[in-house]
Amino acid sequence: MNQKEVILVVDVALLGCGGSMPMPNRFLSSLLINYKGRKILIDCGEGTQVSMRILGWGFKSIDIILITHSHGDHTVGLPGLLATIGNSGRTNPITIIGPKGISDIIKGLRVIAPYLPYDINIIEAESKACDFKITSEGLKITEKNHEISISNLELEHSSACLGYSLYINRKPKFDVEKATSNLVPKILWSRLQRGEVISFEGNKYEPEMVLGDERSGIKISYITDTRPIVAIPEFIFGSDLFICEGTYGDDNDLEKAKINKHMTFTEAAELAKAGNVKELILTHFSPAMLEPGKFLDSAVNIFENTVIGSDRLVKTLVYNK
């Protein structure tokens, strides 16, 4: 039996990189993650649907929506998006995760989108992880054999706000020698590799009997809106991609950042360095900062692999080692 190597591929699109108010060439905060055709959306500011339409990834396969906090530049696009998802033909439930009080926020926003052809399951996160696996109906919460784990961290903003970290598992490589030494019938190999536990001819067979050591997956972290609290570096540690707010590019705006509970480019870069991430994308730019690229050196001087975010910036993360 030929066991093919599985390459882990995750596509990430920054749909909007603005904060506070939409600009002619900059929509508000939103990020879309695409894995095996299933999608996770983080925040839904104004312009999210427009960017998604231009991107062309579709609406129907959004299974999970993560909301960082209740402010309008992160949520106002939600009612229209939910309606569009319904018009796309979706009937399977959608999971929405957010900070304490998110249930009331969703209820209020849905006054203008009361009738949907699918259910919404709302989770008010309390600094715990939710695990998901891909099923025939999309990403569903599971207690075992999960493919994606979503963790959250309470941040420091003017309202209850969460940061998110997503870890996409990479299944262990199939070990032919281990399967053979454990006398596992070849007819069961594929099912065990998929994570099934099987009773066959009076014996019980588990995935561990045919799989090798655990392998690294892909980690994506998203932090906005907040001051740079001490818990962030550990939370984002080792991320393949770290998307972080950089509301202010100029270090002279530090006092303004402190008052408004936001960050400068310099502070975001310091977090990226402390968290030993591979790449930093700056986002959530103040509408007063028309050309964020002018301040890029403030971040690059601290963390070299820094990119200025832009609407519909796409990153493809591939892990094939």
pLDDT tens sequence across 155-204:
999 999 999 999 998 877 888 999 899 999 999 998 888 778 899 999 99
pLDDT tens sequence across 264-276:
999 999 999 999 9
Active site residue 297: no
The predicted model scores a pTM of 0.90
The pLDDT value recorded for residue 72 is 96
CA dihedral 293, 294, 298, 304 (to 10 degrees): 40
Q: Exactly one of 43, 73, 253, 311 is catalytic; name it.
A: 73
For the sheet with 38-42, list strands across it. 120-124, 94-98, 62-66, 38-42, 30-35, 8-16, 313-319
DSSP state of 211: B
Q: What whole-number distance in Å separates Cα of residue 110 and Cα of residue 127?
A: 26
pLDDT above 80 for 145: no
Averaged pLDDT, 41-46 = 98
